[in-house]
Structure 1
């Protein structure tokens, strides 16, 4: 996968070739097509090349424009025609140029405000020599990483943490407050990493560095359309148009495009709709559907993925599911400084990415985003009660299947009035802080929790953007999800390790703005989640999958992975326990109960919040020793 990096000295001293070379060498997982290093006095920029669109093949980056500004651009623009039109005569001359040329030309024409015209997945840095200013920004989608470190004389940035920590030989210091947010499963602070002094530019944010001073702001303030009074048919039509637009954009590739087909509703919708668009002449070639199968395992979903492939008359490419290997997890963390990937992620992605790499395919489409944006809930009831729409709330409550009259009444009171009467319920509804009002887990040492100040961080944090309705705030909480870099950064980097760009059509910014204004009544209807997606896929997706309401649970893979790790290092010997953060005896007791229920097949007894916590502690143990370097 591609990437960028750079160094700027505010004092004006030159960036040496050696210093820039160290940063480049430390980001070895980026740049399958090589790298270009560019220096001009106090600034040095690096472009790690990996062409995944036809226009990017042979691109020249870093690129200097007529104004003297130089850009390092990592990403993909999905609205090229619109941008070319905005650029007028200059745009016509750039019609066949790479995306970076369009971005730089628009910056030179419109200044910092050009960001609002860009649609796609990107991160960028622009050096303006006359102003001695470095301007950096990240797309609202936030899948392209942008890390940086700064002081009064230097700002350095990179797509990879290792490029900064190793490339600049930074002193390694733990950010225990951020680690505490992670372990309490209450991540609320965007822009921080586990390394003290290494920050991540949040999605939809920008920074300006000049004269040793850093300014940062949230630029993504685009309005959204209120669709709460639109009909279901209007929602379906609008969603389908935007989904098709996202699929066409994500299918622009310099190689063949593959799409992961798990058999779930989201990935099956991506594959089925893309195939229909190909047959309608809107996509040049259908995606190659690729699926990981687990024969004989309760997590095997091959019946559903096969049904999709048969309905579409596609030849399904099948890989066998992988097995978690503790040695591979440790080697990954040491090589990249990322947390190890969860066993239920690595078991599918490792074989799929390797398959694409072996065939020279560089683009993989996912179904990420369906759970996050389309599942639906009753948060909009809190808005409707404020509008006096008790009749609407009552109709939706009466349509809830399997609920007693008392349970329906309780739901109406708690979900419509609760957010207005209780701060904890408001935070759960508006910010998706489902832990609000609950105590910190007792297996975390209270003295360490107090030392980190995490309770104050949790209470003081406010969202980057305030929206007028609770439902819009609830959905925006996923757009600006502060834990995305921690939880998904390693997965994206793992794709890059294999030369694969992982694209997520359901995260398209145009779709995200649609989600913000959509009516909650069409997302969750009569107890069925993702109602809108199901209706939009009627006639496109095979009924067996379109009407599917079950999901495979991959808990067993994580439990078996934990068992393998604990066989080599028991909980009581792990670094989070040795450092005084975690009560090893309490966590070991939780593990014992969980493992026993797994061995005896009583999966319903699994305490899901602690299930994730066990993995977080084990993964952190690996990272502390092999990534951080204890």
Structure 2
């Protein structure tokens, strides 16, 4: 396949080579194999094919010029550097508004586009077929959660433990020195602990990024896990080379940074792992989505007007109420008062999700009040507060786009809806889950992680992104996941004897809406001020006045962190876009 020598042998293997089975049997077997990418030529049809596994762990870029040539590579920068490709390079102008608007088809469902019009990426779980004239793509992986439907609740947990350990084992096979991200949360702690369970005598390095924010501080839990598994714990201090890291990432990717915050700390973690000789750096990426927590039951019961089940589920949540920090005297309240607060919070979320006229809100009140004993004054008080907060939040975000008003976003060619294409014959109720697990943002994060793995020589891997593990969790009933209200009860049960109870049974989690995101965005901005002043290309796309408004919002300490998440993303992505446009210019490519 001609992959470059900096890509380790364990990334691309010969396991896709034809076996004694027939040609068609070999192709079909790719659907359930561990093969990451495969390529072959069919002499009978004079066609070339590419396959990419379900979670897109390795990117596969290609360009097809009819009757001229077809080229593909796991590296976009290598592909665009080819002499034959360069005459066909042109920036996809429709990608730029989508990139700095964080919405639209390209953001939510298109996982095949790049920032170049004629260069695409093979969709994960799909088969791409090419002849001299055309390129076609179709899903080649079929999800089958039904094969697990016969299991009992105990058997589900046993099978979950087996598959999870198997995935961690496969992700770390043939590695001498093991590394693992360890945030202190359930996912990364489970991965790190499973490593020790599988390799009782191997050296394990764990990497924790301490938080300066009280809301996001998980150090206590990370240290407890590290001590329990006897890993060598490394604390990664915040990096101070945000702009330089962004420039390096852009040069490696050939595209702007996919993330919403500076990649500097991620680079520093990989460099530290590299200096320690780690072969692999495992992480808990995707755990929340793939495993699930059963909280969908609460929303479903409300929408289905099953208020008895709705109340039953909320009463279970009392012991794990995620907003206890807002109530300093929580531990002194009796159960009824605690339940009333949980009910208020749940109803507030449902009111917030309900948009419409006063008459519709009144209709909603009439439906719920006989069952939930909620007063009219409280109902409309909360509804009005929701409306005011929503308006304030919308004003804070400033429509979510800072594109220049004289630019009209061109939707470009409509690509396949990637998450929807994977559903196949599965019921429609699975679509929301697929949208979450296979969001294009998730796929592009995996692609860029692979590029960084190649650069630093440390394989960055996510054991939760496993087909069988995902299918099993699709099959497990939400009531088993919800458990006694803690959520993810099935996974917690499967981790008995592997993960310490301090983390396994904790019902709270650090919030991402903290000062940490603000600091990272503003640090990058401060480092980039001179750079932005000297750059002209980015202001051809971004409204400079709107960008400065976002900076002022980020700097305003009176605005809650939760209302500034989009602001951080828009600041970071504007700088990322500027870096990429300047990189194109330095390479002689026209933007």
User: When the two structures are superposed, what TM-score results if normalisation uses the length of structure 1?
Assistant: 0.71
Q: Could you tell me which residue of structure 2 aligns to residue 277 of structure 1?
A: 198
- The answer (yes or no) to whether the contact 1:262–1:305 under 8 Å persists in 2 is yes
**Higher share of residues assigned strand:** 1
- Deviation of 1:301 after TM superposition, in Å, equals 4.2
Q: Could you tell me which residue of structure 2 aligns to residue 200 of structure 1?
A: 121
Q: Could you tell me which residue of structure 2 aligns to residue 209 of structure 1?
A: 130
- Deviation of 1:366 after TM superposition, in Å, equals 1.1
SS of 2:232's partner is coil
RMSD of the TM alignment (CA)? 3.9
- Distance, in Å, in 1 between the alignment partners of 2:576 and 2:485 is 36
SS of 2:239's partner is coil
- Distance, in Å, in 2 between the alignment partners of 1:343 and 1:415 is 25
Q: Could you tell me which residue of structure 2 aligns to residue 166 of structure 1?
A: 81
Counterpart of 1:191 (choices 112, 122, 126) is: 112
SS of 1:216's partner is strand
- The answer (yes or no) to whether the contact 1:239–1:511 under 8 Å persists in 2 is yes
- The answer (yes or no) to whether the contact 2:283–2:462 under 8 Å persists in 1 is yes
SS of 1:212's partner is coil
Counterpart of 1:290 (choices 206, 214, 236) is: 206
Q: Name the CA shift for 1:228/1:105 in 2 (closer, same or farther; >3 Å).
A: closer
Q: Name the CA shift for 1:240/1:605 in 2 (closer, same or farther; >3 Å).
A: closer
Q: Could you tell me which residue of structure 2 aligns to residue 133 of structure 1?
A: 47
- Distance, in Å, in 2 between the alignment partners of 1:144 and 1:106 is 26
- Deviation of 1:147 after TM superposition, in Å, equals 0.6
Q: Name the CA shift for 1:442/1:349 in 2 (closer, same or farther; >3 Å).
A: closer
* Superimposed CA distance per residue, residues 289-345 of structure 1 (whole angstroms, 9 cap, x where no aligned partner): 321454877666443222112122333355555333313422442354132475966
Q: Name the CA shift for 1:518/1:184 in 2 (closer, same or farther; >3 Å).
A: farther
- Distance, in Å, in 2 between the alignment partners of 1:245 and 1:618 is 41
Q: Could you tell me which residue of structure 2 aligns to residue 350 of structure 1?
A: 267
Quick check: 1:594 aligned with 2:554?
yes
SS of 2:71's partner is strand
Superposition pairs of residues 531-570 of structure 1, within 5 angstroms: 531-546=489-504, 547=506, 549-551=508-510, 553=512, 554-570=516-532
Q: Name the CA shift for 1:203/1:175 in 2 (closer, same or farther; >3 Å).
A: same
- The answer (yes or no) to whether the contact 1:338–1:623 under 8 Å persists in 2 is yes
- The answer (yes or no) to whether the contact 2:205–2:232 under 8 Å persists in 1 is yes
Q: Name the CA shift for 1:566/1:146 in 2 (closer, same or farther; >3 Å).
A: same
- Deviation of 1:475 after TM superposition, in Å, equals 1.7
Quick check: 1:585 aligned with 2:545?
yes
Counterpart of 2:316 (choices 387, 390, 399) is: 399
- Distance, in Å, in 1 between the alignment partners of 2:50 and 2:101 is 31
Superposition pairs of residues 446-461 of structure 1, within 5 angstroms: 446-448=405-407, 450-453=408-411
Superposition pairs of residues 13-412 of structure 1, within 5 angstroms: 30-32=4-6, 50-52=8-10, 75=12, 99-101=15-17, 108=23, 110-118=25-33, 120=34, 122-153=36-67, 154-167=69-82, 168-186=85-103, 187=107, 188-225=109-146, 232-279=153-200, 286=202, 288-294=204-210, 301-318=218-235, 320-340=237-257, 346-376=263-293, 378-380=295-297, 391-401=308-318, 403=341, 405=343, 408=346
Q: Could you tell me which residue of structure 2 aligns to residue 502 of structure 1?
A: 460
- Deviation of 1:181 after TM superposition, in Å, equals 2.6
- The answer (yes or no) to whether the contact 1:382–1:470 under 8 Å persists in 2 is no
SS of 1:50's partner is coil
Farther-moved stretch of structure 1 (103-112 vs 246-255): 103-112
Q: Could you tell me which residue of structure 2 aligns to residue 11 of structure 1?
A: none
- Distance, in Å, in 2 between the alignment partners of 1:416 and 1:110 is 50
- Deviation of 1:508 after TM superposition, in Å, equals 1.0
Farther-moved stretch of structure 1 (460-469 vs 385-394): 385-394
- The answer (yes or no) to whether the contact 1:121–1:143 under 8 Å persists in 2 is no
Q: Could you tell me which residue of structure 1 aligns to residue 403 of structure 2?
A: 444
Q: Name the CA shift for 1:561/1:507 in 2 (closer, same or farther; >3 Å).
A: same
Counterpart of 1:615 (choices 551, 572, 575) is: 572
- Distance, in Å, in 2 between the alignment partners of 1:319 and 1:381 is 38
Q: Name the CA shift for 1:594/1:410 in 2 (closer, same or farther; >3 Å).
A: closer
* Superimposed CA distance per residue, residues 340-391 of structure 1 (whole angstroms, 9 cap, x where no aligned partner): 4759663443233223333443222111112333353644567678999765
Q: Could you tell me which residue of structure 2 aligns to residue 424 of structure 1?
A: none
Q: Name the CA shift for 1:224/1:205 in 2 (closer, same or farther; >3 Å).
A: same
SS of 2:89's partner is coil
Q: Name the CA shift for 1:572/1:461 in 2 (closer, same or farther; >3 Å).
A: farther
- The answer (yes or no) to whether the contact 2:31–2:53 under 8 Å persists in 1 is no
- The answer (yes or no) to whether the contact 1:301–1:552 under 8 Å persists in 2 is no
- Distance, in Å, in 1 between the alignment partners of 2:22 and 2:509 is 47
Structure 2, unpaired ranges of 5+: 319-337, 361-393
- Distance, in Å, in 2 between the alignment partners of 1:382 and 1:596 is 34
User: When the two structures are superposed, what TM-score results if normalisation uses the length of structure 2?
Assistant: 0.75
- Distance, in Å, in 2 between the alignment partners of 1:343 and 1:470 is 30
Structure 1, unpaired ranges of 5+: 6-23, 25-29, 33-48, 53-73, 77-97, 280-284, 422-434
- Distance, in Å, in 2 between the alignment partners of 1:513 and 1:501 is 25
Farther-moved stretch of structure 1 (603-612 vs 179-188): 603-612
Farther-moved stretch of structure 1 (438-447 vs 382-391): 382-391
Q: Name the CA shift for 1:461/1:271 in 2 (closer, same or farther; >3 Å).
A: closer
SS of 1:157's partner is strand
SS of 1:184's partner is coil
- Distance, in Å, in 2 between the alignment partners of 1:106 and 1:208 is 21
